[in-house]
Amino acid sequence: MGNKDGMNYAPKGKINRVVEPGAFNVGVTALDHGHINGMTNGLIEAGATIKYVYDPDAEKVANYLESFPDVTVAESLEQILEDPEIQLVAAAAVPNLRSALGNRVMRAGKDYFTDKTGFTTLEQLEETKKVVAETGKKYWVYFSERLHVEGAVFAGQLIEEGRIGRVIQVTGFGPHRLDKEKRPDWFFKKEQYGGILADIGSHQIEQFLYYTGNTDADVLHSKVGNYNNPATPELEDYGDATLVGDNGATFIFKVDWFTPDGLGTWGDGRTFITGTEGTIEIRKYINVATEQTGDHLFLVTKDGEEHYSLTGEVGFPFFGEMILDCVNRTENAMTQEHIFKAQELCLKAQEQALNITANL
C-alpha cells in the first residue's frame, strides 16, 4: 500500500554517500511541514550529518526525533546559525516565511534548503536574489515531485540520452489528498500558503523547465478555484496553467486537492512527455487498480514499448550533487538561475490566474 498521507510523505532511497561522516554538517529548523522528513532522509543518504534540530514547538521536535533520534536539539536558531561547522540549514517553514528565514540563514554564512514553494510573492523572490548575490550562498528548493521520484529521475536520464528526441510538450497532473482535518491553520490562508499554483504548482513548472531544457517561458493562461470547500474560502482546491518555453516546447498542468479516499496513495501524480522520436509517461506514486507501487515509467519509441518498474533502481542523485555543489561551489545538481526561474513562473501563474469559481 502506498503512503496515503501526502503531507508527511518522506521517500527513502539508496545510500550513496558523497562525503565522510562529519564532513558536511546540517542544521534543521522550522518543522512546519512534514516534507522536512523527506529532505532529511535525502541528506542523510547522501552522507550529510544532521547536527542540530530546532523548533520552538517541542511537540514538532519530539515527532522529528522519532524518525531521527541521533540529532541534538539546539536551544535556539541562533545556536545553529552561529556554529561554524554548520554548512547548510534545511527548513520547512510556513510558506510565506521561507524566504525571510533563508535570507537570515544565508547572511549567517550558510547555504539554505527549503521546502517548496520557496516564495509566496515576487517581491520575496527579488529580495532573495539580492541576498544570494550579496552573500554568494545557495538557496535550494525541494522540488520533491521530480527530485524524490525515481521514475521522474529516470525520465530525465532517458531524455538526456536522446531516447525520445527533442522534447516538444509536457503535460503534468499533480492531484493531492486534502486530509482537511490534519492540516494546520496556515494551510487555508492564502497569504500564508501562497495559492495553489505557487505552492504545488511549483513542482510542475520546475519539471517543465528541466525536461524541455528551457531557461525561460511565458505563462499564457492560468486558472484557480474553490469548488468544494466553502468553509475555507481562501483555499484554492483547483488550479491549472498553460506555458510555452523559449524553445517552443509547451506545457499544460493541473493541480488539485481532490484525490479520493479510496486511492491507495496521496495522489496519482503523472507526467506525460512528448518528444520528436518517442513518448514517456511517469506514474509516480501508484499504478491505479493494477499495482500499489509507484515509480512506473512507460517508454514508447520506434523500437517498441517498454515498462520500467523503478522503485529501488535509480536512487535520488540530487542530494549528493547538492552537497557537492555546496562543498565545491559548483552548480551540477541544479543552477540557482533554474530554481529562481521555476519560482518566478509559478508566482506569475498565480498572480495572473483567473478565479473560475468566484462568481458561482
Residues 41-100 pLDDT 10s: 999 999 999 999 999 999 999 999 999 999 999 999 999 999 999 999 999 999 999 999
pLDDT beyond 70 at 3: no
What mean pLDDT do residues 331-352 have? Answer: 98
pLDDT beyond 80 at 9: no
Residues 180-202 pLDDT 10s: 999 999 999 999 999 999 999 99
Nine-digit cell string for 146: 521530480
pLDDT beyond 50 at 15: yes
Strands 49-54 vs 304-309: parallel, antiparallel or unpaired: unpaired
Q: Which domains does the chain have, with CATH numbers?
A: 25-145+317-334 (3.40.50.720), 149-315+347-355 (3.30.360.10)
What mean pLDDT do residues 237-261 have? Answer: 98
Q: In whole angstroms, give the CA distance from residue 301 to residue 279.
A: 7
Q: In whole angstroms, give the CA distance from residue 73 to residue 63.
A: 12
pLDDT beyond 60 at 317: yes
* pLDDT (0 to 100) of residue 2: 46
What count of other Cβ atoms lies within 10 Å of the Cβ of residue 223? Answer: 19
Of the pLDDT bands very low, low, confident and very high (cuts 50, 70, 90), residue 13 is confident
* pLDDT (0 to 100) of residue 1: 35
* pLDDT (0 to 100) of residue 11: 78
Of the pLDDT bands very low, low, confident and very high (cuts 50, 70, 90), residue 277 is very high
pLDDT beyond 50 at 105: yes
The whole-angstrom distance between residue 303's C-alpha and the CA centroid of its chain comes to 33
* pLDDT (0 to 100) of residue 271: 98
- Please give the residue that has the higher pLDDT: either 355 or 14: 355
What mean pLDDT do residues 297-324 have? Answer: 97
pLDDT beyond 70 at 4: no
What percentage of the chain carries pLDDT values higher than 90? 95
The whole-angstrom distance between residue 70's C-alpha and the CA centroid of its chain comes to 26
What mean pLDDT do residues 171-183 have? Answer: 97
Of the pLDDT bands very low, low, confident and very high (cuts 50, 70, 90), residue 14 is confident
pLDDT beyond 60 at 265: yes
pLDDT beyond 70 at 6: no
What count of other Cβ atoms lies within 10 Å of the Cβ of residue 76? Answer: 12
Residue 66 near residue 42 (C-beta atoms within 8 A): no
Query: 251: Cβ–Cβ under 8 A, 6 or more apart, which residues?
Result: 169, 170, 171, 172, 204, 205, 208, 212, 217, 241, 242, 243, 244, 245
pLDDT beyond 60 at 229: yes
CA torsion 207→122→245→350, rounded to 10°?
70
**For every residue of the chain, which 3-state class applies, written as one string?**
CCCCCHHHCCCCCCCCCCCCCCCCEEEEEEECCCHHHHHHHHHHHCCCEEEEEECCCHHHHHHHHHHCCCCEECCCHHHHHCCCCEEEEEEECCHHHHHHHHHHHHHCCCEEEEECCCCCCHHHHHHHHHHHHHHCCCEEEECHHHHCCHHHHHHHHHHHCCCCCCEEEEEEEEECCCCHHHCCHHHHCHHHHCCHHHHCHHHHHHHHHHHHCCCCEEEEEEEEECCCCCCCCCCCCEEEEEEEECCCCEEEEEEECCCCCCCCCCCCCEEEEEECCEEEEEECCCECCCECCCCEEEEEECCEEEEEECCCCCCCHHHHHHHHHHHHCCCCCCCHHHHHHHHHHHHHHHHCCEECCCCC
